[in-house]
């Protein structure tokens, strides 16, 4: 394994690992001081002296011959390309949400926006149309966020109107397998119901 980015981390109280939402007792690397890209750890990039890169905490999905695979862990910019779609998540979501489950991200970049996001897939197709309702939902649930600023639960009345992006042309069926990579990232596989 690689060294942590720095010592004296407040998020993990210097342990290098944190607990995540699925209450599996397995530790998960700290997003602040230990967020190395899972795929870099397995297969370092050529030309980077074999050194792993720091990644963002993402839920990423891809279709494989075996079904729909959901990755929950850290990916660098290069390795996000290994997946078809991905979204930013928080540790509290890991293990709880299925691909396509809605949540809300509020961002304050130039102005505030509330995006309705579908787990693993990206923004809802009609995220703009849902924005006013998403802001209202967030205002009503100040304490129900997913542990990090800007990440909020999406209430059922908004989630039920969130439209999948056009390229999601399947429904998935049973969960087939859930496992952890050596990097502690979680991989879950669902069967595809309609093909």
Size of the site for Zn ion (CB under 5 A): 12
What distance lies between CA 162 and its chain's CA centroid?
Answer: 18
Site for Zn ion in 70-129 (CB under 5 A): 76, 79
Interface residue with Zn ion among 32, 136, 161, 178 (CB under 5 A) is 32
Applying CB under 5 A, does 40 fall inside the site for Zn ion? yes
Cα–Cα distance for residue pair 51/67, rounded to 1 Å:
31
Q: Shortest CA distance to 89 belongs to which of 31, 175, 33?
A: 31
Alpha helices in the chain (DSSP H): 38-42, 131-140, 156-159
* Listed ranges 51-59, 86-94, 146-154, 171-179: which one lies at the site for Zn ion (CB under 5 A): 51-59
Applying CB under 5 A, does 37 fall inside the site for Zn ion? yes
Edge to edge, the sheet with strand 172-180 lists: 85-88, 56-64, 67-75, 186-192, 172-180
* Listed ranges 39-47, 99-107, 126-134, 171-179: which one lies at the site for Zn ion (CB under 5 A): 39-47
Cα–Cα distance for residue pair 129/51, rounded to 1 Å:
43
3-state secondary structure of 91: helix
Least distance between Zn ion and beta carbon 152 (Å): 24
Site for Zn ion in 143-182 (CB under 5 A): none
* Listed ranges 32-40, 81-89, 96-104, 116-124: which one lies at the site for Zn ion (CB under 5 A): 32-40
The residues that touch Zn ion, with contacts defined as CB under 5 A, are 9, 11-12, 30, 32-33, 37, 39-40, 53, 76, 79
């Amino acid at each position: 394994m690689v060294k942590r980015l720095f010592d004296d981390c407040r998020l993990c109280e210097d342990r290098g690992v944190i607990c995540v939402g699925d209450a599996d007792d397995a530790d998960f690397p700290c997003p602040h001081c230990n967020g190395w890209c899972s795929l870099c750890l397995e297969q370092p990039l050529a030309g980077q002296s074999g050194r792993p890169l720091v990644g963002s905490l993402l839920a990423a999905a891809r279709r494989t011959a075996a079904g729909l695979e959901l990755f929950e862990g850290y990916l660098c910019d290069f390795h996000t390309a290994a997946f078809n779609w991905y979204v930013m998540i928080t540790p509290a979501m890991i293990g709880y949400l299925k691909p396509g489950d809605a949540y809300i991200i509020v961002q304050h970049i130039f102005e505030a926006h509330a995006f309705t996001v579908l787990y693993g897939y990206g923004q809802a197709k009609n995220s703009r149309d849902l924005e006013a309702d998403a802001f209202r939902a967030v205002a009503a649930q100040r304490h129900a966020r997913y542990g990090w600023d800007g990440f909020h639960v999406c209430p059922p009345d908004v989630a039920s109107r969130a439209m999948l992006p056009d390229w999601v042309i399947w429904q998935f069926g049973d969960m087939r397998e859930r496992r952890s990579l050596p990097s502690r990232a979680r991989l879950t596989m669902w069967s595809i119901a309609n093909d």
